[in-house]
Amino acid sequence: MKKTLQSLLTWGFISITTVCTPLFASRTQAAESIFVRYKDTEVTVTRSELNDFTNTGELPTELQKLLGTEEELPDIVRTALSEQITVPTFLQDFIEGSNGEFLLFKLDQAIASASGRTEDGLESLKTAVLNSIEDDQVSFMEIIDKYPQNTIRVNLTSLEGTYNQVKGFVEKTLPALEVAKDVLSDFICDCETAPMAASQSYQSQKVSDQCAEKNSKTTVSENSHTPKSSNLPNDPSSLKLPTVISEESGSATQLPVRLAPTQ
Protein backbone atom coordinates (compact mmCIF):
# COMPACT_ATOMS: atom_id res chain seq x y z
CA MET A 1 0.00 0.00 0.00
CA LYS A 2 2.80 2.35 0.92
CA LYS A 3 4.69 1.60 -2.32
CA THR A 4 1.51 2.12 -4.33
CA LEU A 5 0.95 5.53 -2.74
CA GLN A 6 4.54 6.60 -3.43
CA SER A 7 4.16 5.48 -7.03
CA LEU A 8 0.98 7.50 -7.47
CA LEU A 9 2.60 10.62 -5.99
CA THR A 10 5.58 10.22 -8.29
CA TRP A 11 3.39 9.87 -11.38
CA GLY A 12 1.24 12.77 -10.21
CA PHE A 13 4.29 15.07 -9.87
CA ILE A 14 5.52 14.04 -13.33
CA SER A 15 2.09 14.70 -14.83
CA ILE A 16 1.85 18.16 -13.25
CA THR A 17 5.34 19.03 -14.48
CA THR A 18 4.50 17.82 -17.98
CA VAL A 19 1.31 19.89 -18.11
CA CYS A 20 2.80 23.06 -16.62
CA THR A 21 5.96 23.14 -18.72
CA PRO A 22 4.20 24.02 -22.01
CA LEU A 23 2.20 26.68 -20.19
CA PHE A 24 5.30 28.40 -18.86
CA ALA A 25 7.06 27.96 -22.19
CA SER A 26 4.11 29.52 -23.98
CA ARG A 27 4.07 32.43 -21.55
CA THR A 28 7.80 32.99 -22.05
CA GLN A 29 7.35 32.83 -25.82
CA ALA A 30 4.55 35.41 -25.61
CA ALA A 31 6.88 37.75 -23.76
CA GLU A 32 9.29 37.47 -26.68
CA SER A 33 6.71 38.21 -29.36
CA ILE A 34 7.03 41.42 -31.36
CA PHE A 35 4.52 42.33 -34.05
CA VAL A 36 6.42 44.17 -36.75
CA ARG A 37 4.23 46.14 -39.15
CA TYR A 38 5.15 47.83 -42.42
CA LYS A 39 2.39 49.50 -44.39
CA ASP A 40 -0.43 46.94 -44.57
CA THR A 41 1.64 43.86 -43.73
CA GLU A 42 2.50 42.52 -40.29
CA VAL A 43 4.75 39.67 -39.19
CA THR A 44 5.77 38.27 -35.81
CA VAL A 45 9.40 37.96 -34.69
CA THR A 46 11.12 37.35 -31.38
CA ARG A 47 13.20 39.86 -29.50
CA SER A 48 16.32 37.81 -30.07
CA GLU A 49 15.72 37.79 -33.85
CA LEU A 50 15.22 41.55 -33.87
CA ASN A 51 18.35 42.01 -31.75
CA ASP A 52 20.37 39.82 -34.10
CA PHE A 53 19.19 41.88 -37.07
CA THR A 54 20.10 45.11 -35.25
CA ASN A 55 23.58 43.84 -34.32
CA THR A 56 24.57 41.95 -37.46
CA GLY A 57 22.25 43.19 -40.17
CA GLU A 58 21.12 39.64 -40.96
CA LEU A 59 17.40 39.58 -41.67
CA PRO A 60 15.32 36.83 -40.09
CA THR A 61 13.00 34.97 -42.43
CA GLU A 62 9.88 36.88 -41.46
CA LEU A 63 11.56 40.29 -41.82
CA GLN A 64 12.86 39.26 -45.24
CA LYS A 65 9.27 38.85 -46.36
CA LEU A 66 8.47 42.29 -44.94
CA LEU A 67 11.53 44.31 -45.90
CA GLY A 68 13.02 42.41 -48.80
CA THR A 69 10.89 44.26 -51.33
CA GLU A 70 12.87 47.50 -50.94
CA GLU A 71 16.65 47.44 -51.14
CA GLU A 72 17.47 50.35 -48.80
CA LEU A 73 14.73 49.68 -46.26
CA PRO A 74 16.62 47.16 -44.08
CA ASP A 75 19.50 49.60 -43.51
CA ILE A 76 17.08 52.43 -42.67
CA VAL A 77 15.22 50.25 -40.16
CA ARG A 78 18.44 48.93 -38.63
CA THR A 79 19.84 52.44 -38.18
CA ALA A 80 16.62 53.74 -36.61
CA LEU A 81 16.54 50.81 -34.16
CA SER A 82 20.20 50.82 -33.13
CA GLU A 83 21.35 54.46 -33.36
CA GLN A 84 22.02 55.97 -29.93
CA ILE A 85 20.37 59.24 -28.91
CA THR A 86 22.26 61.41 -26.43
CA VAL A 87 20.02 62.16 -23.48
CA PRO A 88 20.22 65.38 -21.36
CA THR A 89 20.40 64.88 -17.62
CA PHE A 90 17.02 66.52 -17.04
CA LEU A 91 15.10 64.23 -19.44
CA GLN A 92 13.92 62.04 -16.57
CA ASP A 93 12.34 65.05 -14.84
CA PHE A 94 10.74 66.09 -18.13
CA ILE A 95 9.21 62.65 -18.74
CA GLU A 96 7.90 62.43 -15.19
CA GLY A 97 6.48 65.96 -15.41
CA SER A 98 3.23 67.22 -16.87
CA ASN A 99 4.75 67.64 -20.37
CA GLY A 100 6.29 64.19 -20.53
CA GLU A 101 3.29 62.70 -22.37
CA PHE A 102 4.26 64.73 -25.45
CA LEU A 103 7.38 62.59 -25.92
CA LEU A 104 5.57 59.37 -25.00
CA PHE A 105 2.83 60.04 -27.57
CA LYS A 106 5.50 60.59 -30.19
CA LEU A 107 7.30 57.32 -29.33
CA ASP A 108 3.98 55.48 -29.24
CA GLN A 109 3.64 56.05 -32.98
CA ALA A 110 6.49 53.57 -33.53
CA ILE A 111 6.68 51.45 -30.35
CA ALA A 112 3.40 50.58 -28.67
CA SER A 113 1.46 48.00 -26.78
CA ALA A 114 -0.09 45.33 -28.96
CA SER A 115 -3.50 46.40 -27.68
CA GLY A 116 -3.02 49.94 -29.00
CA ARG A 117 -2.63 53.27 -27.22
CA THR A 118 -3.97 52.79 -23.71
CA GLU A 119 -3.13 54.21 -20.32
CA ASP A 120 -1.38 50.97 -19.36
CA GLY A 121 0.49 50.99 -22.66
CA LEU A 122 1.77 54.53 -22.15
CA GLU A 123 2.77 53.69 -18.58
CA SER A 124 4.71 50.67 -19.85
CA LEU A 125 6.40 52.83 -22.47
CA LYS A 126 7.29 55.38 -19.81
CA THR A 127 8.84 52.66 -17.65
CA ALA A 128 10.85 51.32 -20.60
CA VAL A 129 12.17 54.80 -21.47
CA LEU A 130 13.13 55.64 -17.87
CA ASN A 131 14.97 52.34 -17.51
CA SER A 132 16.76 52.92 -20.82
CA ILE A 133 18.12 56.44 -20.20
CA GLU A 134 20.05 55.67 -17.02
CA ASP A 135 23.36 55.83 -18.93
CA ASP A 136 22.40 59.14 -20.63
CA GLN A 137 21.90 57.35 -23.95
CA VAL A 138 18.99 55.47 -25.47
CA SER A 139 18.09 53.56 -28.62
CA PHE A 140 14.73 52.34 -29.86
CA MET A 141 15.93 48.74 -29.59
CA GLU A 142 16.82 49.31 -25.95
CA ILE A 143 13.30 50.62 -25.29
CA ILE A 144 11.87 47.52 -27.01
CA ASP A 145 14.07 45.24 -24.88
CA LYS A 146 12.88 46.89 -21.66
CA TYR A 147 9.21 47.17 -22.57
CA PRO A 148 7.41 45.46 -19.63
CA GLN A 149 4.53 43.85 -21.53
CA ASN A 150 3.98 40.44 -23.06
CA THR A 151 3.68 41.70 -26.62
CA ILE A 152 4.87 44.78 -28.47
CA ARG A 153 3.92 46.29 -31.81
CA VAL A 154 6.66 48.05 -33.80
CA ASN A 155 5.47 50.15 -36.73
CA LEU A 156 8.25 50.39 -39.29
CA THR A 157 6.17 52.69 -41.51
CA SER A 158 6.64 55.60 -39.10
CA LEU A 159 9.85 54.37 -37.44
CA GLU A 160 12.33 56.56 -39.32
CA GLY A 161 10.23 59.73 -39.02
CA THR A 162 9.58 59.11 -35.32
CA TYR A 163 13.27 58.48 -34.69
CA ASN A 164 14.30 61.74 -36.40
CA GLN A 165 11.67 63.76 -34.53
CA VAL A 166 12.53 62.26 -31.13
CA LYS A 167 16.28 62.68 -31.73
CA GLY A 168 15.84 66.34 -32.74
CA PHE A 169 13.58 67.08 -29.78
CA VAL A 170 15.75 65.36 -27.17
CA GLU A 171 19.15 66.59 -28.41
CA LYS A 172 18.27 70.12 -29.61
CA THR A 173 14.79 71.41 -28.82
CA LEU A 174 14.56 70.27 -25.21
CA PRO A 175 17.96 71.72 -24.14
CA ALA A 176 17.05 75.02 -25.86
CA LEU A 177 13.74 75.12 -23.99
CA GLU A 178 15.57 74.46 -20.74
CA VAL A 179 17.96 77.38 -21.37
CA ALA A 180 15.02 79.64 -22.27
CA LYS A 181 13.23 78.59 -19.09
CA ASP A 182 16.27 79.51 -16.98
CA VAL A 183 16.61 82.89 -18.72
CA LEU A 184 12.91 83.61 -18.27
CA SER A 185 13.11 82.60 -14.62
CA ASP A 186 16.00 85.03 -14.04
CA PHE A 187 14.11 87.77 -15.89
CA ILE A 188 11.03 87.27 -13.71
CA CYS A 189 13.19 87.41 -10.58
CA ASP A 190 14.77 90.67 -11.75
CA CYS A 191 11.35 92.15 -12.46
CA GLU A 192 10.16 91.21 -9.00
CA THR A 193 13.29 92.66 -7.39
CA ALA A 194 13.18 96.01 -9.25
CA PRO A 195 9.90 97.33 -7.70
CA MET A 196 11.16 96.31 -4.28
CA ALA A 197 14.42 98.21 -4.80
CA ALA A 198 12.51 101.23 -6.12
CA SER A 199 10.20 101.14 -3.11
CA GLN A 200 13.16 100.96 -0.75
CA SER A 201 14.83 103.85 -2.57
CA TYR A 202 11.61 105.89 -2.36
CA GLN A 203 11.27 105.21 1.36
CA SER A 204 14.92 106.17 1.92
CA GLN A 205 14.46 109.41 -0.03
CA LYS A 206 11.27 110.17 1.88
CA VAL A 207 13.04 109.75 5.24
CA SER A 208 15.90 111.94 4.01
CA ASP A 209 13.47 114.67 2.95
CA GLN A 210 11.69 114.51 6.28
CA CYS A 211 14.99 114.87 8.13
CA ALA A 212 15.99 117.85 5.97
CA GLU A 213 12.61 119.51 6.57
CA LYS A 214 12.90 118.97 10.33
CA ASN A 215 16.42 120.47 10.40
CA SER A 216 15.20 123.49 8.45
CA LYS A 217 12.40 124.11 10.94
CA THR A 218 14.85 123.83 13.83
CA THR A 219 17.16 126.42 12.28
CA VAL A 220 14.32 128.90 11.73
CA SER A 221 13.16 128.41 15.31
CA GLU A 222 16.65 129.14 16.69
CA ASN A 223 16.99 132.26 14.56
CA SER A 224 13.70 133.64 15.85
CA HIS A 225 15.01 133.54 19.46
CA THR A 226 18.38 135.18 18.68
CA PRO A 227 18.51 138.87 19.92
CA LYS A 228 18.73 141.45 17.18
CA SER A 229 22.15 142.97 16.76
CA SER A 230 22.64 146.60 17.94
CA ASN A 231 23.07 149.37 15.38
CA LEU A 232 26.05 150.62 17.41
CA PRO A 233 29.44 149.96 15.92
CA ASN A 234 31.66 147.43 17.61
CA ASP A 235 34.48 150.01 18.08
CA PRO A 236 33.43 152.83 20.50
CA SER A 237 36.26 155.01 19.27
CA SER A 238 34.57 155.33 15.95
CA LEU A 239 31.59 157.12 17.49
CA LYS A 240 31.25 160.79 16.62
CA LEU A 241 30.72 162.84 19.77
CA PRO A 242 28.55 165.96 19.75
CA THR A 243 30.40 169.26 19.38
CA VAL A 244 29.69 172.37 21.59
CA ILE A 245 31.08 175.93 20.86
CA SER A 246 32.21 177.77 23.97
CA GLU A 247 31.00 181.43 24.15
CA GLU A 248 33.96 182.57 26.14
CA SER A 249 36.74 181.18 24.03
CA GLY A 250 34.86 180.75 20.78
CA SER A 251 36.48 177.33 20.33
CA ALA A 252 34.62 174.11 19.68
CA THR A 253 34.74 171.38 22.34
CA GLN A 254 33.51 167.74 22.08
CA LEU A 255 31.49 166.68 25.07
CA PRO A 256 31.95 163.18 26.47
CA VAL A 257 28.98 160.91 26.05
CA ARG A 258 28.16 157.96 28.40
CA LEU A 259 27.19 154.93 26.50
CA ALA A 260 24.36 152.90 27.80
CA PRO A 261 25.30 149.36 28.67
CA THR A 262 24.25 146.72 26.21
CA GLN A 263 21.24 144.65 27.39
In a domain, 182, yes or no: no
Rg (CA), the chain: 50
In a domain, 11, yes or no: no
In a domain, 230, yes or no: no
DSSP letter string over 129-180? HHHHSTTSEE-HHHHHHT--SSEEEEETTTHHHHHHHHHHIIIIIHHHHHHH
Q: What is the pTM of this model?
A: 0.60
**Which of 173-177, 180-184, 240-244 has the lowest average pLDDT?**
240-244
Give the structural domain span for 83.
28-173
In a domain, 125, yes or no: yes
pLDDT of residue 30: 35
Whole-number Å distance between alpha carbons of 166 and 160: 10
Whole-number Å distance between alpha carbons of 209 and 186: 34
In a domain, 178, yes or no: no
pLDDT of residue 181: 77
Q: Using one digit for the tens of pLDDT, what is the confidence trace for 60-77? A: 999 998 887 788 899 999
Q: Using one digit for the tens of pLDDT, what is the confidence trace for 2-43? A: 454 445 344 443 343 333 434 333 333 334 789 999 989 999
In a domain, 184, yes or no: no
pLDDT of residue 162: 96
In a domain, 14, yes or no: no
In a domain, 251, yes or no: no
pLDDT of residue 202: 55
Q: How many domains does the chain have?
A: 1
pLDDT range class, residue 230, cuts 50, 70, 90: very low
pLDDT range class, residue 111, cuts 50, 70, 90: very high
